[in-house]
């Protein structure tokens, strides 16, 4: 392979693992020989991704027994029932503890396949092979796995770190426009929480990213994974700092819950959630209105939604309360102290939250 592979490491002692970022990785037999142990490979993907990438990946897995599970596409299938169906296939095929699950797809497949790998026989090996921008920069890294419950997103899950993340940037060429934009929301999030310079770089390069410039995408993915890897390395189980990565997500979860996980893509809900969190931070006096305007402009240039559905503040708060960040009955929020500096806190004025929710949710 002539193309460069950029490698990052998620540093978690005996569970450390590499993130390999590059073009054309998905079909590389050497790469898979080096990073995927075992003789049995459980390839989990969805109908859309399988049609595009299962063949080259299976060729790269030459010589192994491959058990393939192709699920329907969509967040509405990220359920315990889907996981149960995958367990049925694994058991019917006598898949043993030394098999490796390969999660080929976006965040839904990564989360679901990761949860299956976490629970099958109390945990087997997992390799994440993200094919969406969101999965490249966020969901494939850090070991969070889960399925949804009708009453809340990601309510049933596990921490289960992969053995490797193999991020083939070529897979982004086939990504639908809307999903590319959704992935940009998580990238913008990294700038907001801890890197004002990266935020400015995104403002300068948003058009190149939308045009899928390989160089621009490679940089955005590398920097995003670097930030995430550092935070996860310091706080794997989200005892503290890692919760910063949820900026915009508590508000976003309310949007996704209210719309049944189908109308809004996760990244779209996060985009609007980022704006709501930033607006609340502004209302608390932490940010000038210019920062809020810069974020709104960037999201709009990225083609991301900035208007929440008018579900009403009460219902939004209700959904937020089911979120995992509730502690001693109080919703903890990720808010900004500055553009590029986020903080997790339960210490905010309730009327400000109320005003913010009313402004955005009606």
Contact residues toward a copy of itself (CB under 8 A) are: 39, 80, 84, 87-88, 91-92, 94, 96-98, 118-123, 144-146, 149, 151-152, 154-159, 237, 321-322, 324-329
End-to-end CA distance of the chain: 54
Shortest CB 189 distance to a copy of itself, Å: 20
Question: Residue 317, Cα to own-chain centre: how many angstroms?
Answer: 23
CB-count burial class (<10 Å; 0-12, 13-18, 19+) for 115: buried
Residue closer to a copy of itself by CB (options 3, 327) is 327
Question: Which of 111, 145, 148, 104 is CA-nearest to residue 127?
Answer: 104
Residue closer to a copy of itself by CB (options 142, 183) is 142
Shortest CB 209 distance to a copy of itself, Å: 31
Other CB atoms within a 10 A radius of the CB of residue 340 amount to: 18
d(CA 102, CA 70): 12
Strand partners, 105: 130
CB 162 within 8 A of CB 114: yes
Catalytic residues: 122, 144, 186, 228, 238, 242, 246, 249, 253, 266
Residue closer to a copy of itself by CB (options 176, 346) is 346
Cα–Cα distances in angstroms (integers) from residue 294 to residues 24, 217, 219, in the given order = 35, 21, 21
CB-count burial class (<10 Å; 0-12, 13-18, 19+) for 290: exposed
Shortest CB 150 distance to a copy of itself, Å: 8
Residue closer to a copy of itself by CB (options 38, 362) is 38
Shortest CB 237 distance to a copy of itself, Å: 8
Residue closer to a copy of itself by CB (options 111, 279) is 111
Shortest CB 167 distance to a copy of itself, Å: 23
d(CA 36, CA 42): 11
CB 321 within 8 A of CB 220: no
């Amino acid at each position: 392979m002539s193309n460069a592979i950029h490698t990052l490491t998620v540093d978690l002692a005996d569970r450390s693992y590499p993130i390999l970022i590059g073009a054309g990785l998905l079909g590389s037999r050497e790469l898979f020989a080096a990073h995927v142990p075992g003789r049995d490979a459980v390839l989990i993907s969805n109908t859309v991704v399988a049609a595009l990438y299962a063949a080259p990946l299976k060729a790269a897995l030459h010589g192994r027994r491959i058990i393939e599970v192709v699920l329907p596409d969509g967040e509405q299938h990220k359920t315990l029932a889907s996981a149960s169906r995958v367990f049925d296939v694994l058991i019917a095929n006598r898949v043993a503890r030394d098999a490796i699950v390969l999660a080929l797809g976006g965040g839904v497949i990564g989360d679901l396949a990761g949860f299956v790998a976490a629970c099958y026989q109390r945990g087997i090996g997992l390799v994440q092979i993200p094919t969406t921008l969101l999965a490249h920069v966020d969901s494939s890294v850090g070991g969070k796995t889960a399925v949804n419950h009708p009453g809340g997103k990601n309510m049933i899950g596990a921490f289960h770190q992969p053995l490797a993340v193999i991020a083939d940037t070529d897979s982004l060429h086939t990504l639908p426009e809307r999903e590319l934009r959704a992935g940009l929301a998580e990238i913008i999030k990294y700038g907001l929480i801890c890197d004002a310079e990266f935020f400015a770089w995104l403002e300068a390069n948003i058009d190149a990213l939308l045009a899928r410039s390989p160089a621009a995408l490679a940089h955005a993915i590398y920097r995003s994974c670097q930030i995430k890897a550092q935070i996860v390395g310091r706080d794997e189980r989200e005892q503290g700092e890692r919760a910063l990565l949820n900026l915009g997500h508590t508000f976003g979860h309310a949007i996704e819950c209210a719309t049944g996980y189908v109308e809004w893509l996760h990244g779209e809900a996060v985009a609007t959630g980022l704006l709501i969190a930033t607006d609340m931070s502004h209302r608390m006096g932490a940010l000038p209105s210019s920062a809020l305007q810069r974020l709104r402009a960037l999201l709009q240039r990225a083609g991301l939604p900035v208007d929440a559905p008018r579900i009403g503040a009460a219902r939004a708060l209700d959904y937020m309360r089911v979120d995992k960040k509730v502690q001693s009955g109080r919703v903890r929020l990720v808010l900004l102290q500055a553009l590029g500096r986020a903080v997790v806190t339960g210490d905010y004025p309730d009327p400000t939250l109320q005003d913010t929710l009313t402004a955005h949710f009606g």
